[in-house]
Structures are given as structure tokens and as C-alpha cells.
Amino acid sequence: MEDRRTIINMDVDVVNIQKSIDRVLGLAQSDRGAYVCVSNVHMCMEVFDSSEFRSVVNDADLIIPDGRPISWAQFFLGSSVARQVRGQDIMNELCRLSSEKSIRIGLYGGANNDVLEEVKAALSMSYPGIEIVYSYSPPFRSLTTEEDNAVVDEINMTGVDVLFVGIGCPKQERWMAEHKDRLNCVMLGVGAAYDFISGSKKHAPRWMQRIGLEWLFRLFSEPKRLWKRYLIQNPRFIYYFLQQWLFGKKFN
């Protein structure tokens, strides 16, 4: 039976990395569409601000606590086994298992085709024998109906088991929800993972990740793009979560 903790308005599974991998592999073998949300403070506040997006996220087959504050919140809400499960770590492990377990990998996202080629080269070097059977960097505009149908047909035709979707939150979560009933694979929203894999962005040092300061590293790396997300949304998250934790307030 699944164990979830509602953090403000977002339902997050209490998992560790092995349970997450097992769930993803089980979904991949089910031969039906499924999607996984990789949750952090930004996603939590997007869920808080939009009832439509709340349904998109909470209807996911698995919601993992990617952000350290999310796993801390689960702990304060009574889950002593709550652990952070980074989406990047799950992606790396699934890529490692691709050859061993014949997992066919698909890539959807990336800033452009050059970035996607760099991602494919980096993954192939890190995980010899990885089966990358599909890759596509969509334009920033919306796809036409014909283009979208072609994408769906090709993903299904190539037999993708796990599709990594990297077009940013909340766009990628909406895309996965819209395509769940049309695709025969499990989709994982991986945000900026392609930029990290290609080397165009740097990971925060492990010590910053462990103490929940990965956001600060990213803020200093991209202040113009991320200042609003972190300097406005982080305090909002703390304010509303404290109301939930201390006073049992519900926000639905």
C-alpha cells in the first residue's frame, strides 16, 4: 500500500531510491502509460497556486521527494523513514540498468539538438551498452497536432520503456499527464538534468546538497533566471508548511 504525505497541497510518496527504482521498473513493464513527478519546493508552490496543476501532479503514478526540504517536511509530518530521492540519481541508475535489464531509454527535451547529442554521448560513455532508442528536442513553441501525433507514434514504435522528459516544471508535468493515455511507457520529469549531463550547468557540491542548500548554489549560478523562484517561493513554502505542521491547517 502506498505511503504518501501531503505537504501543503502536494501528495509525495515516502520512498527511498531502491523503492523508487523498483516502482519505475514495475511501471515500465506494465505496457501502459505512466508518469513520475520529481518534486521540490518550486513544484509544491506551483501546486499550491493552481488547482489544475495540483490535479496533474497528484494524479502521477509516483511523486518522489527530490528536494531536501520536501523530505524534511515528510519527516516532520511523521515519517521517520523519509529520505530525499534525487531525480538525477534515479535517472543515472536507470541508465546504468539499461544494458543489464534491456531497458529502452527515450529522451525528450534539451535546449536544442546539439545539447541532446552531447547528452547521448555522455550517457553512452558513462553507461556502456545503454539502449537509447529515441531522442527529440522539441521547439519552444507548441507542437502542431500533426507533429505531436508523429512524436507519439515514434515513441511507441521504437518501444521506449522509460522516457526522460526534460522541458522544465510545470510544462513537463502537464505534457506527461496529457500523453499518459497515448504512450506505452513510463515518463519521468527530469527538469534541468540534460543541462547537468551535457556539462552546461554544474551540480552543487555534495555537502551543499546534504544540508539542503542546493538551491543557493543554483541561485548564484543563474541569479537572473532563478531569483524569483527561490527568493519568493522558498519563504512562501516555509510560511505555509509551518501553518500546516504547527496548526494542522489544510489548504484544499
Domain segments of the chain as ranges: 4-198
Whether the pTM exceeds 0.95: the reply is: no
pLDDT tens profile 81-111: 888 998 889 999 999 999 899 999 999 998 7
**What is the pLDDT at residue 1?**
45
CA 154 to chain centre: 22
With b for 16 or more beta-carbon neighbours within 10 A and e for fewer, the 23-41 pattern comes to bbbebbeeeebbbbbbbbb
Tell me the C-alpha distance between 66 and 71, whole Å: 8
pLDDT tier at 65, thresholds 50, 70, 90:
very high
**What is the pLDDT at residue 104?**
97
Q: For residue 78, what is its C-alpha cell?
A: 511523521
In terms of pLDDT, which residue wins out, 77 or 227?
77
Mean pLDDT of 110-122: 88
- Residues linked to residue 162 through DSSP beta bridges, in sequence order: 105, 186
pLDDT tens profile 128-142: 999 999 999 999 888
Mean pLDDT of 6-17: 95
Tell me the C-alpha distance between 55 and 34, whole Å: 15
Which helix (H) or strand (E) segment is 146 a member of? helix 145-158
**What is the pLDDT at residue 54?**
97
**What is the pLDDT at residue 95?**
95
Residue 207 has pLDDT above 70, yes or no: yes
**What is the pLDDT at residue 208?**
81
Residue 126 has pLDDT above 80, yes or no: yes
pLDDT tier at 114, thresholds 50, 70, 90:
confident
Mean pLDDT of 49-69: 96
Cβ 56 vs Cβ 178: under 8 Å? no
In terms of pLDDT, which residue wins out, 159 or 210?
159
Highest mean pLDDT among 83-92, 167-176, 224-233: 167-176
Average pLDDT of the chain to the nearest whole number: 91
